[in-house]
Each structure stands twice: as structure tokens, then as C-alpha cells.
Amino acid sequence: MKAYTTKNIRNVVLIGAPRSGKTTLSEAMLYEGKVIDRRGSVEEKNTVSDNTEFEQTNQKSINATPLYAEFGGCKINFIDAPGSDDFSGGALSAFKVVEAAVMVMNGTAGIEVGTTLFGRYADQYGIPMIIAVNQMDHDKANWDGVRAAISEEFGKKAVLCQFPVNPGVGLEGFVDVITMKFYNKKNEEQEIPAAYADEAEELRAELMEKAAEGSDELMEKFFETMELSTDEIREGLRAGILKGETIPVFCTAAKENVGVKRLMEFIVNVVPSPEGKEEPTVDGGTVKCDPAGPTAIFIFKTSVEQHLGEVSYFRVMSGTLNKGADLVNPETGNGERLSAIYAVAGSKKEEVTSISAGDIGCVMKLKAGKTDVTLAQSGVEAFKHMVFPDAKYRCAVKAVDKNDEAKVGDALNKVAAQDPTITVEYSKELRQTILSGMGEQHINYVKWRVTNEFKQNIELYAPKVPYRETITKIATAQYRHKKQSGGAGQFGEVHLLVCPYVEGQEAPKNFKIDGKDVVFNFKSQEITDLEWGGKLEFYNCVVGGSIDLSFMPAILKGIKSKMEEGPLTGSYARDIRVYVYDGKMHPVDSKEIAFIIAGRNAFKEAFRNAGPKILEPIYNVDIITPNEYVGPCMSDLNTRRGMIMNQDMDKGFTVLHARVPLAELYRYSTILSSLTGGSATFQMKFAEYVQVPADVQTKLLAEYAAQEQEED
């Protein structure tokens, strides 16, 4: 493969809803770019991008696959991204290394939830878009319906650059209003048929007007002459795309390779090269995409591939990367030698001697070259890290064979290192390993990888809920720990009072204990911001030396240990004030351990008498659904103790804004998909902790008591 300079590189990502035909379009682009000499198909399981066993079995894209085509004197790097929201991390990673996205739309379905979702992602990440309406040769192709839907979804930003002639099984080709030519099914350029000349002229006028908005110079010329040349139209479209004000619309029938060549020509002619693009760094600076600058690459994807091991996919953000380069991770100081570098088209990898700024390639078996990592020459700061949505599906995971726990943990961590939307963490609070991802399909894929690639059997099951415990009233308790077993014994007695901590409220000093009014004098205090949220305020109010000051840290330690395993459900306790006001000690037998135990048990007793309550995590949940499924979605939320706060419209879809307890959200992504035929999606984010209803608290207390009895 020839070497390409930065100005002759184009980087795009193919996004869109499932079954829109992104992989089929990828095959056609590879074919047009002479990378392959025969186009594969999803049905025959021989496409370049969907090349893993899981993808071929399920006939859907799971991984974002970097590809390239040499076309029109340029190298087009394009990334075939998955269409499912469960695997949206692939598209979001690709956004870091491209200049534009091609939104592939199903010509029979038009705007789908996936279209809206990925369109929103592209807008959020500042990625310009081109629309390719695919499957114009399908017997249910509906150009007029799709065209109207595009106008409703994207408004005046969308501008038609083409329209099909006789869409459906009798598709004859398409009219291109940029070149003002007709292209038949063989991609032969012809004059526009007379029957379509008027429509072409009308759309050409709209296109010129939209292109003129790209700059003041073009607008001035258009007003003077009411005409723009083809090159001026391209110039105006490029400016509009960069500003996010223009979305050109094309049409294709990728399965028959119709319209693909013209789409690629447009990418070469109009999509901006990466030259001069400034990439932000973690310190607030920027690095310019300049082949003469310092060498710096960003790893946006890693995978483990058969016969190759771990492969790291990168974009050269600055400078020119040469084979054998020595680079450093700016955040860790660890060095890496890139002994061999490759141009990549799916499973096809071609070794090259250098890669210029803006280009995409891969390298094998780096020591620490994981996803979201910068490698650069000394003095270059790390690039700003990628940002992903919060996980929507969580489950607990364990090895089927307890002896394999370490191996399973290692396998899960390796998968998570390759996919930033997967998180694996051991919860000390829940005493479970929690696996989180974007949906049940996503989690099942992780399980498939652990089972098939790492040969470890795992079990997935419902996770515990991280409840919190607190109190609502004042209570006192005392506990004496006394142990004598020959020799020195253990003795410690603690009297304490607990009351609720309220943010912004000064700690009270006046209480009634055993019918007597008492005023506490604080000898010392310690305020702790608990790592799980909330506060613990600890006050030493002992008078007369009944407990030596040296034992106060031990009492506090005992209290904190019980707060880590709350008296009600074993969950973390929070927002409590504790006053130690009396006790006893022994001149010989009093030891630290005695006061730890006394403090722990006195706190436990006081807590249970202080109107204890259980708090549960509440999440803000936004459901995006077609209007016909609003009723079922609302009914389902009601069964989950959800509270619908409001609803609004977003480009033809209804958005329900609700607050739902985390306890009711297990497998919600799967249930929502079942309710809406896969046409709805949602996002969730932690909001706050609130008190559980009385009936739920009673149930939780009974369950915990039964669990404790079993363990005894």
C-alpha cells in the first residue's frame, strides 16, 4: 500500500440502527477501494468486518471494525460500528478518531430509535454527519416516507444531494444534483432523464442555497448570480458540515453496489482531512494534527484476535509514526516500542514502515497499550480521555467452580480493559463481583467471551442492592464487654447516644437521658465524610475520666466497623451523630479490643432503637419510545414503583422522564425491548437515596434476618 500524506486522508465512521446495512455498505466500499475483489454478505458469514464467530452466528455487528479503501488518490479510513445501543461504545470510541459520520438509514424503515440515538450521540460529540439512505432496491423501499422523516428529524440541516429513480425492486439508479448527472445501476454516468429534470433543477436550487450559507463569499456570489459551480457547492457543503449546520443526504443500494462509488467520491471531495485539527489534552492544551509535529498516537480500541493476541488500534494524532518507534505513556511514564505497525482492514493487516498524522493503524502485543491510552514522544501531554454513557445493566458474576475465581477475575478484567463501557468491580459492601454494561446483550457477549476465549465458566445472577441505613430518632445504649479466660482479661464499657445528622444543623448538646436533662460538653470531636456518602459525627463527652482519652479511637473504630455492616440489612449506615458520654474501664484488663467491641455493640443496640430506616438508591430514567408504546411503558414503570415526572417530544419520539428505584431496574433493558419490539431505548443516572416504603422495609428486614439465621 502506498503512503498517504495527512491532506489525502479521510476518516469516517458508519453509524445507524441495526439492520440498516452498515456492514453491507462496508463491503461495497472495500470492493470499490480494491481492498477485496469479491463482496461478502452477512447471510453468507464472509464479510470483512463481522468476522468473529459471535457476530457471524448472530448476524449482527458487535465490534467496531476499522477498515480502509484507497480511492480517488486518498485513503478513506472508515469504521463499521455496531447498530445496537448495547454496543454503542464502538461508535463512541470511533468518534475520537474521525472527522465525520455516515448515518446509514434503512430505506424501508426511515427514522428508527437507533437513528435518533446515534444522531444524538454524534451531535453531543460534535461529529458532522452525512446520511446514506440504504436499501433503495428493497421491495418495501419508501423514499418519499424516508425523505419526509429526515426532514422532520433533522429539519433544515438536511439537504438532498441525490434522489432514486424508481426505488424498489425495479430501481434504475439515482440522480445526483451536485454533478447534475444520472447514474444507473452499473454506476455509469448519463444525462438526467427528461422526466426527472424539473425535480433535479428544483433540488439543485435548494442545494446551492444551502451551500451558499457556508460562507459570506459564497452567499454574496449566489445572491448576485443565483448560481454556484460544482466546486463551490462542495466548498459550501464542507463549511456547513464542519459547523454542524448541514447534513447532506445520499441514497444507496449497497447490496448491489449502487451509489457507493458516488458516496465515496463525496467523502473524498467534501469531508475535511484531519490536517490542522487540534486535539485537546488532559491539561487543557491542544495538539495540532501536523505530520511535522512530535509523534503522538491515541489508542481507541483494543481486541484479542485469533493467532495474533492483543491488537491495539490507534490514530496518529501528530507527527509521523515510524516502525520501531519508542514512545512513552505520558500519564504513567511507561515506555513502549512499536516494533511493527500495520494498515488495517478488518482481519487484513498490511505491515508498513510509517504512518502519517491523521491516519489509522494497529500494533500488536504492547505491554500496556490499552484502550484510551496516549503514547507519545517526551513532552507531549496525554489526550483527553473518551467519555461514555453510564451503564444500564448490572448483574453479579461468579465462577461456577470456586477454585477458578482468580482466573475468572483475570478474564473479566481483560475484557473490560478492551471495552470501556464494561466495568468489573468487587463490592465490599455487597460482597459480590458486579459486572456492568450497556444491556443484557452486552453482558451476554462478555459471558460468551469468558467462556469461549478464556475457557472459564461463569454464572450471572441478580445483584444485591446497595441500600443505606440511618436513624430518625434519639436513642441511648450501653454495652459492657468483659472476658476472663486466665491471665489478663478484656474489659470495656461504653455508654453512648445517637441522633440523626442533618446537613447544616448544628450538633445539639441538650438531651434527656433516663428522664434527666443532660448538657453535653464536647471534649473532642471527629467528623468523617463517609466514602459511601453521608457523614458520621463522633463526640467525646465523657467527664470524670471514666474512659481514658486513649480509648476513644478504639470506640470510634468499633462504631465505624458496624456502620460498614449496618444492623438492619448489612448495608452501609450513614448520617449519624454519636455522643460517648460515660463508661467504665479497668486498670489492668481494659484494652483497645475491648473498647472496639463495646463501642460496636453499644452502637448496634442504640441504632436499632433510634427509629432506623432503610434508604434505597433512586435513578433518573429517561425512556425514548415511539408514541404507540407510551402506554405500555408507563404501565410497566408503575409496576416498578416508578414515578413519572414529566414527558416531552423529541423529533417524533416521546421521552418519559421518571424516577425509579434501582431495585426495580434489574433486566429493565431487556423488558423494555420486549415491550416495544426493540424500538425504545433508555438512559439512567443515579439521583439520590430516599427512604423505602414501610412494606418494602419490612420485607427487607425479614429477608436479612432469615439470611443471618442460615449463616448461623
Instruction: For the chain, give every domain's residue range.
Output: 6-270, 296-345+354-376, 393-464, 469-609, 614-695
Encode pLDDT of 26-35 as tens digits.
Answer: 999 999 999 9
User: What is the predicted pLDDT for the residue at 348?
Assistant: 87
Cite the beta strand spans of 181-221 per DSSP E.
181-184, 189-190
pLDDT at res. 705:
84
Residue 711 reports pLDDT greater than 70: no
| Residue 93's pLDDT band (cuts 50, 70, 90) | very high
> What architecture is domain 469-609?
2-Layer Sandwich (3.30)
With bands split at pLDDT 50, 70 and 90, how would you rate the model's confidence at 406? very high
Altogether, the residues listed in the chain come to a count of 712
Question: How confident is residue 548, by pLDDT bands cut at 50, 70 and 90?
Answer: very high
Taking domain 296-345+354-376, whether its CATH number is 2.40.30.10 is answered by yes
**Residue 611 vs residues 137, 385, 476, 503, 654: alpha-carbon distances, Å:** 69, 46, 12, 19, 42
Asked if CATH classification 3.30.70.870 holds for the domain at 393-464, the reply, yes or no, is yes
Q: What values do phi and psi take at 306, rounded to 5?
A: -55, 135
**Residue at 102: amino acid letter:** V
* Cα–Cα dist 637/647, whole Å: 13
Q: Give tens-digit pLDDT for 138-155.
A: 999 999 999 999 998 899
Q: What's the pLDDT score for residue 486?
A: 66
Chain segment 270-287, per-residue pLDDT in tens: 999 999 999 999 999 999
Q: Do residues 687 and 390 touch, judged by C-beta distance below 8 A?
A: no
Using one digit for the tens of pLDDT, what is the confidence trace for 596-639? 999 999 999 999 999 999 999 999 999 999 899 999 999 999 99
- Which CATH number is 614-695's, of 3.30.70.240, 3.40.50.1820, 3.90.1170.50, 3.30.56.10? 3.30.70.240
pTM: 0.86
231 strand-pairing partners: none
More confident residue, 693 or 485: 693
CATH fold match for the domains 393-464 and 614-695? yes
Give, as one character, the DSSP assignment of residue 689.
E
pLDDT digits (tens, 9 = 90+) for 425-447: 999 889 999 999 999 999 999 99
Across the chain, what does the average pLDDT equal?
93
Percent of the chain with pLDDT over 70: 99
At 42 the pLDDT is 81
Asked if 438 and 85 count as a contact pair (C-beta separation under 8 A), the reply is: yes
Q: How far apart are CA 524 and CA 541, in angstroms?
A: 7
Q: How far apart are CA 256 and CA 336, in angstroms?
A: 45
Residue 11 has pLDDT above 80, yes or no: yes
| pLDDT digit string, tens, across residues 557-576 | 999 999 999 889 989 999 99
Rounded Cα distance between 584 and 596, Å, is 14
Distance separating alpha carbons of residues 490 and 483, to the nearest angstrom: 5
Residue 685 has pLDDT above 60, yes or no: yes
Instruction: Say what the pLDDT of residue 502 is.
Output: 92
CATH architecture observed for domain 6-270: 3-Layer(aba) Sandwich (3.40)
How high is the pLDDT of residue 96? 96
Check residue 712 and give its pLDDT: 56
